[in-house]
Amino acid sequence: MNQWTLGIIGGSGLYELEGLAHVRRERVETPWGEPSDALTFGELHGVPLVFLPRHGHGHRLPPSDIPYRANIAALKQAGCSDILSISACGSLREDLPPGHFVVVDQYVDRTEGRERSFFGPGCVAHVPMAKPVCSRLSRLAAEAGTAAGIALTPRGTYLAMEGPQFSTRAESELYRQWGMDVIGMTNMPEARLAREAELPYASIAMVTDYDCWRDDSHSVDVALVLDVMRDNTVKAKRLLDRLTAALSGQARSPGPDGIETVLDTSIITPPGARDPEVVGRLAVIAGRALV
């Protein structure tokens, strides 16, 4: 693939993108059902974009009920070359205040019960996750945010919790002891599934609040979070404008992390032992590697 086609997964507060050219919306179906909402196709600075609101328009879906597999499969089917996740998060560090952005480079996954793989009985794969994000797209996103004048930290560890409730204070203090930087509910299993689909993935975590660990602060309050979220959404759109301007006219080459071919060394079930029905379903996200 020699052209950037950027899939944008919009989190809390980011339900649509304005200013796109050649806009069309399309409802799609995947072997894992329908995604969270219709896909919006368009261009920004000549760069093709495919936008998907993670929670659906109107924020209809809580974190545990987001169809993560369908979302990633839909973006793969739509021809995306890369995925940029934009999501709200809480801060576990004093120096990451509300309004600050963090480009995530690591995860600790504390989610429970979510379907976290396209593979399974009939065709087994084990993709590496030591480096769970695309280093190139993460760097480009960080550079775009800085150019847009956004206070931004280029690396950070995201604690993925199940939700939908926020943390207890004991949990929040424990995560700080672990060295976590931000906390959210949606980047897992999203990042895992993007890796299985051989899609380079980067995540911008937008801080909306300090998690409840601060003795001098109130517990997380949705009304206060929404106020910060509105400002963060404006900044996220500025970042995306800078990012697409930087990508405009650039040919896309394979990334430095080998993500686009990761399944070449990850599928362990030999061809003769694979379930044809499972292989047929996987063709959407892994067809290149299953031939």
Domain boundaries of the chain, sorted by first residue:
6-290
Kindly state the helix (H) or strand (E) to which residue 196 belongs, with its residue range. helix 190-196
Q: Read off the pLDDT of each residue in 240-251 and give the average, rounded to a whole number.
A: 94
What is the Cα–Cα distance from 93 to 49, expressed in whole angstroms? Answer: 33
Q: State the burial class of residue 83 (Cβ atoms within 10 Å of its Cβ: 0-12, 13-18, 19+).
A: buried
What is the Cα–Cα distance from 13 to 215, expressed in whole angstroms? Answer: 27
Give per-residue pLDDT as tens, 94-115.
Answer: 999 999 999 999 999 999 999 9
What is the band of 91 on the pLDDT scale with cuts at 50, 70, 90? very high
pLDDT of residue 55: 96
Q: Which residues are catalytic?
A: 209, 211
| Statement: residue 221 has pLDDT above 70 | no
Report the predicted TM-score, pTM, of the whole model to 2 decimal places.
0.95
| Statement: residue 220 has pLDDT above 60 | no
What is the band of 227 on the pLDDT scale with cuts at 50, 70, 90? confident
Map residue 202 onto helix, strand or coil: strand
What is the Cα–Cα distance from 116 to 128, expressed in whole angstroms? Answer: 14
Give per-residue pLDDT as tens, 178-188.
Answer: 999 999 999 99
pLDDT of residue 224: 74
Was domain 6-290 assigned CATH 3.40.50.2300? no
pLDDT of residue 261: 98
pLDDT of residue 15: 79
| Statement: residue 13 has pLDDT above 90 | no
